[in-house]
Amino acid sequence: MGLLLKLALFGVAIYAVWKTFSRWKGLYDRFVGPPPEAPRPPPTAPEPSGPQQAGARPRIIEETVPCKVCGAYLSSGATQCGRPDCPLP
């Protein structure tokens, strides 16, 4: 009889442990929720590469105005084209 009693107690203990485990697992799932999905990397725009990027360097283009008399292109800030015979001041 002692062996049967031990087996019965063992079965009850296993049952109790299993019930406790499932109960806590249910609480955990309720509060924490399902595991989140792995974060996906955001879609990144393809970077320009190769000669296209080399030619796309930012260039400073000065605004030029042609000299009305001699036709030389001057920057808008210049007052004289540099020619010795330029009539501009």
- Site residues (vs Zn ion, CB under 5 A): 67, 70, 72, 81, 86
Residue 71 · residue 87 · CB < 8 Å: no
Element (H, E) at 23: helix 2-32
- In the bound state with Zn ion, the residue whose beta carbon lies nearer, of 35 and 71, is 71
Exposed / middle / buried, residue 2 (Cβ in 10 Å: 0-12, 13-18, 19+): exposed
CB of 66 to Zn ion, least distance (A): 9
CB of 71 to Zn ion, least distance (A): 7
CB of 81 to Zn ion, least distance (A): 3
